[in-house]
Amino acid sequence: MAAYKDAALKEAKKVLSFIEKPALTEDDKKMIVKESIENFNQNVNPGWLEYRKSMSTDNACVEWTDTEEHFTDLYGNDFIDCLGGFGIYTCGHRNPEILKYVKAQLDRYALHSQELVDPLRGYLAKLVAMITPGDLQYCFFTNGGAEAVEMALKLARLSTGGRYYISTVGAFHGKSYGAISMGGKAAYREDYLPMIQQVQHVAYGDADAMEAAIKNLHTVGEKVCGVILEPIQGEAGVIIPPAGYLKKVREICDKYGVAMILDEIQTGMGRTGTMWRCEAEGVTPDIMTYGKAFGGGIMPITGIIARPNMWGQKLIDNPWLLGSPTFGGSPLACSAAIATIGYMLENDIPQMCKEKGDYFMEKLNGLKAKYPTMLKDIRGAGLLICMDFPAAEVGYAVVKGLFSRHVMTSGTLVNAKAVRIEPPAVIKYETIDIVIEKLEESIIDAKKEFKL
Ligand SMILES: Cc1ncc(COP(=O)(O)O)c(C=O)c1O
């Protein structure tokens, strides 16, 4: 028997007892906090905890349970979630109307045989085609956002025969090799070069620059297969392109026979006030990615949908040509996504995002008018909102102040100049008022600290 067996078995049993227990003792809690820090430092990454705001208070905050608009730590402290897992929790945390179907599916079968017809995948594909614009029709399900982007990139080459991609400066599409090749930030690319060579980055929001890049490549004999864009750049700090930009890009793609890929992983599923951002812009892409909120904040599931003109005979003859992820579109994940679509339609989640986003923006603009040296800009669509501070340290101080007042937002020590607010759509109006009150207190503190 291997030497590690006894120790590892004992460790596993200890953790399983924590998972199973209805209530932890004070000693359990102390042990979990201490061991979690040790485990992260020794077996995840010694740098991981360093800059997180959840470590910046006296007691490291270890998440243990969640519900609706809250995370709760081991000690029962609630945190209002204004980060929303960067867009995962649009339907809230463990929404019971989604969870019950996932539990029911779990009691039947969780993963698929890989051989039989798994019905939920087909039903989900049909539903996605029903809720996406135009003639978007064929779906391929994956597990993570970057993986969905890989499929979109491969499909663009497969269907057009072109090789070059046009992406944008500031873009974020994930960190797998293909996806990061499209990424618009040097810090995440330079250590891995060379990556996909056939990609040119143009300024975001500039349709003329996009056309010039395609035209020049075609003039020298290089064929462009796809343009990839976020309809609003999320990670870059909620950058909303000029009105009509997506429509112009659509026209350019049609003119040059290039596939238009819209990455709706963050902007989709109601987040920006319509089910998809491209809907608000009156544009149908050739290929669209989705993820994050798609699994209802309960299961990871992502995917692509493409128009029939993208789905050529070669792919029909060999359905695994694009990819064959073992877990992609598992019954459990599909049950979550189907329940999410049902919940979103029944409760008009996109409209909820719009109304609550407008309410948030009005209050935030009030704070901006009151504290102009602190809040430099507020922008957003629906519940994808961003606040700009004069410097990263100032933003970090505000985020830390909010966290100590039990409001969670995004922003790390490394980057907090632009702080995103992406709460669940189900956030209550009273809770938004509390967030604004705590934000004002945190702004006042940081204003004093930095003498602004
Ligand atoms: C627009 C966009 N595309 C792709 C991704 C990558 O998704 P994942 O982290 O699930 O790989 C993200 C993640 O933030 C995103 O915002």
Asked whether residue 47 is assigned to any structural domain, the reply reads no
Provide mean pLDDT across the span 226-253: 97
Which residue from 84, 108, 175, 107 is spatially nearest to 357, judged by alpha carbons? Answer: 84
Dist. CA 77–CA 73, nearest whole Å:
5
Q: Decide if 70 is inside a domain.
A: no
Q: Is residue 340, in this structure, part of any structural domain at all?
A: yes
Contacts of 341 (CB under 8 A, 6+ apart): 124, 127, 128, 131
8 Å CB contact between 269 and 315: no
Q: What is the mean pLDDT of residues 245-251?
A: 98
Q: How far apart are CA 260 and CA 156, in angstroms?
A: 8
* Residues 203 and 221 both lie in one domain: yes
pLDDT higher than threshold 90 for residue 51? no
207 has pLDDT over 90: yes
Beta bridge partners of 309: none
How many folded domains does the chain comprise?
3
Residue 343 clears pLDDT 60, i.e. is over it: yes
User: Quick one: tokens of 89?
Assistant: 């929790």
Atom of ligand 1 nearest to the CA of 147: 11
Whole-number Å distance between alpha carbons of 267 and 415: 21
Query: Is the shortest distance between the CB of 173 and ligand 1 below 6 Å?
Result: yes
**What distance separates the 2 farthest-apart alpha carbons in the chain?**
70
Phi and psi of 259, rounded to 5°? -75, 135
| Region 422-447 average pLDDT | 98
Q: Note the pLDDT tens digit of each residue in 383-408.
A: 999 999 999 999 999 999 999 999 99
Q: How far is the CA of 154 from the centre of ligand 1 (A)?
A: 17
Q: Are residues 300 and 356 in the same domain?
A: no
Same domain? For 190 and 243 the reply is yes
Going by alpha carbons, the residue nearest to atom 16 of ligand 1 is 266
Tell me if 149 CB under 6 Å of ligand 1: yes
pLDDT band at 56 (very low <50, low <70, confident <90, very high): low
Which tokens hold the place of 184?
Answer: 């618009």
The predicted-structure confidence for 285-337, as pLDDT tens digits, reads as follows 999 999 999 999 999 999 999 999 999 999 999 999 999 999 999 999 999 99
Flag whether pLDDT at 267 surpasses 70. Answer: yes
Are the C-beta atoms of 341 and 126 separated by less than 8 Å?
no
In ligand 1, which atom is closest to the CA atom of 291?
10
- Ligand 1: atom nearest CA of 300 is 10
Same domain, 334 and 187: yes
CATH of the domain at 432: 3.90.1150.10
| Same domain as 103, residue 12 | no
In short, whether 265's Cβ falls inside 6 Å of ligand 1 is yes
What whole-number distance in Å separates Cα of residue 45 and Cα of residue 47? Answer: 5
pLDDT tens by residue, 61-110: 899 999 999 999 999 999 999 999 999 999 999 999 999 999 999 999 99
Identify the pLDDT of residue 3. Answer: 82
pLDDT digit string, tens, across residues 155-180: 999 999 999 999 999 999 999 999 99
Ligand 1 proximity of 230 Cβ (cutoff 6 Å) = yes
Residues 23-36: tens digit of each pLDDT: 999 999 999 999 99
For ligand 1, say whether the CB of 144 is within 6 Å of any of its atoms: yes
Report the half-sphere exposure of 316 (CA within 13 A, side-chain side). Answer: 7
If asked whether residues 150 and 271 sit together in one domain, one would say yes
Q: What is the pLDDT of residue 49?
A: 79
- In whole angstroms, what is the distance from residue 63 CA to residue 335 CA? 25
Mean pLDDT of the chain: 95
In-domain check, residue 135: yes
Q: What's the whole-model pTM score?
A: 0.97
Q: According to the model, what pLDDT value does residue 59 have?
A: 60
58 has pLDDT over 60: no
Q: Are residues 319 and 375 in the same domain?
A: no
28, two tokens: 């359990």
Give the model's pLDDT for residue 1.
Answer: 63
Is residue 269 assigned to a domain?
yes
Any long-range contacts for 38-45 (C-beta under 8 Å, 24+ apart)?
none
Answer with the residue of higher pLDDT: 51 or 98: 98
Residues 177 and 141 in one domain: yes
CB distance 351 to 131 below 8 Å = no
Pocket residue to mutate for ligand 1, from 292, 294, 302, 327, most atoms within 8 A of Cβ: 292
Would you say residue 401 lies in a domain? Answer: yes
Which residues does 101 contact at the CB level (< 8 Å), separation at least 6? 335, 336, 338, 339
**Environment class of residue 6 by beta-carbon count within 10 Å: exposed (0-12), middle (13-18) or buried (19+)?**
exposed
Q: Do 179 and 314 belong to one domain?
A: yes
Ligand 1 atom at shortest distance from the alpha carbon of 264: 1
pLDDT, residue 284, reads 98
- pLDDT score, position 48: 81
Q: Is the CB of 290 under 6 A from ligand 1?
A: no
Examine the pLDDT at 2 and tell me if it is beyond 90.
no
Domain stop point among 324, 346, 368: 346
Considering the domain architecture, whether residues 273 and 408 belong to the same structural domain is answered as no
Q: How far apart are the first and last CA of the chain?
A: 65
Is residue 51 within 6 Å of ligand 1 at its C-beta?
no
The CATH number of residue 236's host domain is 3.40.640.10
pLDDT band at 342 (very low <50, low <70, confident <90, very high): very high
pLDDT of residue 388: 95
* CB 356, CB 383: distance < 8 Å: yes
Domain extent, residue 379, equals 349-449
